[in-house]
C-alpha cells in the first residue's frame, strides 16, 4: 500500500472524489467507490495515520438487532457484508460470531427487550429472548443473583453478532482499495473547503490545495468543523466515549455482554484481554481521555455482573471522540452544497456499520442520490420530523 501514499503534496492534484477521514468508514467508502462504481480517482485524506482515530478506539462489537426498521436495515446489511468480508478482502479480520447479549435489569427493560426481539424477527434479523437461566447457559461466568443492584431479569440474544479486529478491518479495506487505485494521504489535515457558485471545488489542507469534483466527509468527531468551513451547520455534538482493556487472561468469556441500563459492555479479545466500554461523557469534548467517574462507575457495574473479574488489572484506558445527533442516529447523505456529502452522527454505533455505510455512502457519492438504506438518515429529517430515535426507543444505541 505504500506506493499509494504521497511523500509530498502534488501542487496540481485533482480528484473525482476526496474523502476527508481515513478511518473505517472513509476507507470502506473508498473501496466500494472503486469496486462497485468504478470510481478509482479517489484520495482519502487523514490528518494523522490511517485508522488511528476512532477506528483504533472502539470496542469491536458487531450486531444488527436494532429496533427501528431504518436502523435494522442498514445494520443488517452491514452484518451480511461482515459475514463474507474476510473472503472478499482476502484478509483475516478475526471476525467471530460469538453472539451478543443485551441484558435487562428492570421490568421496563424486559418489555423493551421483548418488543425489540419481535421487531427484529419481523425484519428478518435473528433475535431471541432469554430468561436468566438461559443467559447463564450462554455466558456461564455472569452472575444472575437476584440480590445484586442490577439483577439480570433476562436478555435479548443475537447469535450472529460478535466482534472483529478493528485495525485488521481497516488494513484489509485499505489494501484492497489501494489495489484498485485509491490514494491514501496521511498527515494531511483538511483546514477548509473551497466553495463557489454553490458547489464545492477543492479542499484546503496542511499540504496544499487539492481540487475535487466531490468531497465526502467522514471524520468522526470533526465532520461538523469541516462542514462549517463551507457554511453547512450539522446538528451534532462531540463527546468522549471511553473504553479500556485488561491484562491478558485465559479464555473465560464466550460471548459479548451489553448492559443497557448501566452502559457497560464486555467481551474478550482473541489475545485474551477483556474489552470494556461505557456510555459517553455528558460534557461536549474533543478529549481523548474522559472523566474518571465514568470508568469508575463502569468497573463497579462490570464487577457486579462478573465477580470473577475482580482480580483482573486494567492495562490501559482511552477515549474516542464521537458525533452524536439529536436522535442518536447517523446523518448520511447530501448537503445544501452541491458535491459535498456527509457521514457523521453515529455516536456509539459506527464500527459495526462499517461495511454497510461504506457500501451505501459510496452509492450516494457515485450516483448523487441516497441509497435506499441510508435515505432515512439524511439531513432533512431534522426539518420534516422523520427522526430515527433509536436511543429513546431502545434505551441504548451502542
Structural domain tally of the chain? Answer: 2
Q: Do 172 and 317 belong to one domain? A: no
Q: Do 104 and 153 belong to one domain? A: yes
Domain that holds residue 38: 2-57+167-235+326-394
Query: Where residue 262 sits, what CATH number does that domain have?
Result: 3.30.9.10
The span from the CA of 210 to the CA of 365, in Å, is 18
Q: Of the candidates 102, 201, 119, 93, which has an alpha carbon nearest to the alpha carbon of residue 155?
A: 102
The span from the CA of 270 to the CA of 398, in Å, is 21
Q: Does residue 89 belong to any structural domain of this protein? A: no
Quick one: pLDDT at residue 59? 87
- Contact call for residues 292 and 278 (beta carbons, < 8 A): no
Q: Does residue 12 belong to any structural domain of this protein? A: yes
Quick one: pLDDT at residue 392? 60
- Contact call for residues 275 and 108 (beta carbons, < 8 A): no
Quick one: pLDDT at residue 320? 84
Query: For each of the chain's 398 residues, which pLDDT tens digit applies?
Result: 444 555 455 556 899 999 999 999 999 999 999 999 999 999 999 999 999 988 988 889 999 999 999 999 999 999 999 999 999 999 999 999 999 999 999 999 999 999 999 999 999 999 999 999 999 999 999 999 999 889 999 999 999 999 999 999 999 999 999 999 999 999 999 999 999 999 999 999 999 999 999 999 999 888 999 999 999 999 999 888 888 999 999 999 999 999 978 788 999 999 999 999 887 888 888 777 778 788 888 888 899 999 999 999 999 888 888 899 999 899 999 999 999 999 999 988 999 999 999 999 999 999 999 999 999 999 999 999 999 998 765 445 45
The pair phi, psi for residue 260, each rounded to 5°, is -65, -45
Q: Do 216 and 229 belong to one domain? A: yes
- Contact call for residues 79 and 220 (beta carbons, < 8 A): no
Amino acid at each position: 500500500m505504500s506506493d499509494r501514499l504521497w511523500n509530498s503534496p502534488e501542487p496540481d492534484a485533482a480528484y473525482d472524489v476526496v474523502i476527508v477521514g481515513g478511518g473505517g468508514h472513509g476507507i470502506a467508502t473508498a473501496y466500494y467507490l472503486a469496486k462497485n462504481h468504478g470510481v478509482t480517482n479517489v484520495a482519502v485524506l487523514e490528518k494523522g495515520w490511517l485508522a488511528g482515530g476512532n477506528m483504533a478506539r472502539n470496542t469491536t462489537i458487531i450486531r444488527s438487532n436494532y429496533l427501528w426498521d431504518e436502523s435494522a436495515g442498514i445494520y443488517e446489511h452491514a452484518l451480511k457484508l461482515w459475514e463474507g468480508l474476510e473472503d472478499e478482502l482476502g484478509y483475516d479480520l478475526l471476525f467471530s460470531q460469538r453472539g451478543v447479549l443485551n441484558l435487562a435489569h428492570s421490568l421496563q427493560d424486559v418489555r423493551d427487550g421483548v418488543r425489540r426481539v419481535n421487531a427484529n424477527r419481523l425484519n428478518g434479523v435473528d433475535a431471541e429472548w432469554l430468561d436468566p437461566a438461559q443467559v447463564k447457559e450462554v455466558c456461564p461466568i455472569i452472575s444472575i443473583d437476584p440480590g445484586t443492584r442490577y439483577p439480570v431479569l433476562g436478555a435479548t440474544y443475537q447469535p450472529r453478532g460478535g466482534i472483529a479486529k478493528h485495525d485488521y478491518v481497516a488494513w484489509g479495506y485499505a489494501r484492497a482499495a489501494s489495489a484498485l487505485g485509491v490514494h491514501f494521504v496521511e498527515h494531511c489535515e483538511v483546514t477548509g473547503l473551497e466553495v463557489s457558485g454553490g458547489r464545492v471545488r477543492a479542499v484546503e489542507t496542511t499540504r496544499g490545495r487539492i481540487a475535487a469534483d466531490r468531497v465526502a466527509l467522514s471524520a468522526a468527531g470533526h465532520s461538523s468543523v469541516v462542514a462549517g468551513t463551507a457554511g453547512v451547520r450539522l446538528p451534532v455534538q462531540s463527546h468522549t466515549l471511553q473504553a479500556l482493556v485488561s491484562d491478558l487472561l485465559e479464555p473465560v468469556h464466550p460471548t459479548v455482554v451489553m448492559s443497557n441500563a448501566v452502559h457497560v459492555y464486555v467481551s474478550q479479545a482473541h489475545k485474551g484481554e477483556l474489552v470494556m466500554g461505557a456510555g459517553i461523557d455528558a460534557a461536549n469534548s474533543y478529549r481523548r481521555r474522559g472523566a474518571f467517574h465514568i470508568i469508575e462507575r463502569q468497573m463497579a457495574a462490570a464487577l457486579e455482573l462478573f465477580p470473577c473479574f475482580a482480580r483482573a488489572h486494567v492495562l490501559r484506558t482511552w477515549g474516542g471522540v464521537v458525533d452524536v445527533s439529536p436522535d442518536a442516529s447517523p446523518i448520511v447523505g447530501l448537503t445544501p452544497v452541491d458535491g459535498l456529502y456527509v457521514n457523521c452522527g453515529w455516536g456509539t454505533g459506527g464500527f459495526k456499520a462499517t461495511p454497510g455505510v461504506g457500501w451505501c455512502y459510496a452509492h450516494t457519492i457515485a450516483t448523487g442520490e441516497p441509497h435506499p438504506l441510508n435515505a432515512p438518515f439524511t439531513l432533512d429529517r431534522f426539518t420534516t420530523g422523520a427522526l430515527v430515535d433509536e436511543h429513546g426507543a431502545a434505551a441504548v444505541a451502542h
